[in-house]
Amino acid sequence: MSLSSAFVSDESDRTDTTSIELIDCPNPCIHHPISHKAPDGLDFPHLNSLKEFVADFADGIKNVFPRRTRNYDRAHALFISWDDDDLDTEGEIVDLEALLKEHFRFTAEAKDFTTSHFKIPSKEYCFQLLEGELVFRRNLYALEESDLLIIYYGGHGKLDKQGHAIWYAFQGPSNAKGGQNPASLDWTRLQGTISQCDGNILLILDSCYATTIGGFHSEWKGIKELLAASGKHDRTTGVSSNSFTRAIIRELKQLQ
């Protein structure tokens, strides 16, 4: 089992989350223009220098996407977002998927290197729908040690009182259509769906509190890697030219 996170320090990873109270994104939401409540990622004290951060981040990208050779016989990139939210992540996902297709020979129709985009329906049974999608992709693309399943999530994230990672569609009822409580699901529970496959899994999580959201357990099989936009107690800069996903896109382009 392997875990890497370009944005997160060891100190942040050691923090116990069992006593954390429910944390909601601030108002204005962290995913919208930066305010005093939402510092830029480079303001966090665990990022000692921009040079060090860029070097660590680039190394993590290169491990998964080598320049000249393929490390895997088969790979699938599953992009996950909400079908209705207040973040407008569609543009970033489209650009990242297009980059994989153009420079790394991923296509939607190919046999061995493919992509798909699953938009979580903002409904009460969203957990079961995403669980079914993960099981389907796991069984197709992560059965062998030479396989790679990339799972990308772009959206809201928070911790509940039990320290579980919660994904949700809207910042609050005021942002959701009809003023209803926003759809949400427990990603900590869903991780068990992919934990026992022999294949390799890369989680790319662009959300608040992403390290806890992507935490791996000792019983997981295969090699599991994490590229996280934030630490256990950190929020992200959101959808912008300086977002985590945009940083990934820039680094991947540099590999060409």
Contact 75, 225 (CB under 8 A): no
User: Does any domain span residue 1?
Assistant: no
Residue 136 clears pLDDT 70, i.e. is over it: yes
Among 77-91, 112-126, 237-251, the range scoring the smallest mean pLDDT is 237-251
Contact 177, 85 (CB under 8 A): no
Which position has the higher pLDDT, 6 or 53?
Answer: 53
122-135 tens-digit pLDDT: 887 899 999 999 99
Question: What local confidence, expressed as pLDDT, does residue 42 receive?
Answer: 40
Residue labelled with tokens 């259509």: 177
| Average pLDDT for 145-165 | 87
pTM exceeding the 0.85 threshold for the entire prediction: no
Percent of the chain with pLDDT over 90: 14
User: Does any domain span residue 79?
Assistant: yes
Question: What local confidence, expressed as pLDDT, does residue 126 receive?
Answer: 92
User: Does any domain span residue 33?
Assistant: yes
Q: What is the rounded distance in angstroms from the CA atom of residue 86 to the CA atom of residue 82?
A: 9
Count of CB atoms situated within 10 Å of the CB of 48: 9
Cα angle 200, 213, 56 (rounded to 5 degrees) comes to 65
Which position has the higher pLDDT, 15 or 161?
Answer: 161
Report DSSP state, residue 136.
H
Question: What local confidence, expressed as pLDDT, does residue 36 receive?
Answer: 33
Contact 204, 248 (CB under 8 A): yes
Question: What local confidence, expressed as pLDDT, does residue 81 receive?
Answer: 94
Give the total number of structural domains in the chain.
1
Residue 4 clears pLDDT 60, i.e. is over it: no
Question: What local confidence, expressed as pLDDT, does residue 21 receive?
Answer: 32
Which position has the higher pLDDT, 36 or 104?
Answer: 104
Which CATH number do you get for residue 137? 3.40.50
Average pLDDT, the chain: 70
- With 0-12 / 13-18 / 19 or more C-beta atoms within 10 angstroms meaning exposed / middle / buried, residue 57 is buried
3-class DSSP state of 140: helix
54-85 tens-digit pLDDT: 566 566 666 666 555 567 888 899 999 999 88
CA-to-CA dists, residue 180 to 110, 126, 177, angstroms: 40, 15, 7
Residue 116 clears pLDDT 90, i.e. is over it: yes
User: Does any domain span residue 91?
Assistant: yes
Question: What local confidence, expressed as pLDDT, does residue 33 receive?
Answer: 35
Count of CB atoms situated within 10 Å of the CB of 77: 24
| Average pLDDT for 34-46 | 38
Omega of the bond prior to 45 within 30 degrees of 0, cis? no
User: Does any domain span residue 5?
Assistant: no
Which position has the higher pLDDT, 256 or 246?
Answer: 246
Q: What is the rounded distance in angstroms from the CA atom of residue 71 to the CA atom of residue 74?
A: 9
Report DSSP state, residue 46.
T
Of 116, 100, 97, 99, residue with least CA distance to 108: 116
User: Does any domain span residue 198?
Assistant: yes
Contact 133, 149 (CB under 8 A): no
List the domain range (segments joined by +) for residue 245: 10-254
User: Does any domain span residue 3?
Assistant: no
- With 0-12 / 13-18 / 19 or more C-beta atoms within 10 angstroms meaning exposed / middle / buried, residue 172 is middle
Confidence of residue 15 (pLDDT cuts 50, 70, 90): very low
Residue 203 clears pLDDT 80, i.e. is over it: yes
| Average pLDDT for 226-234 | 69
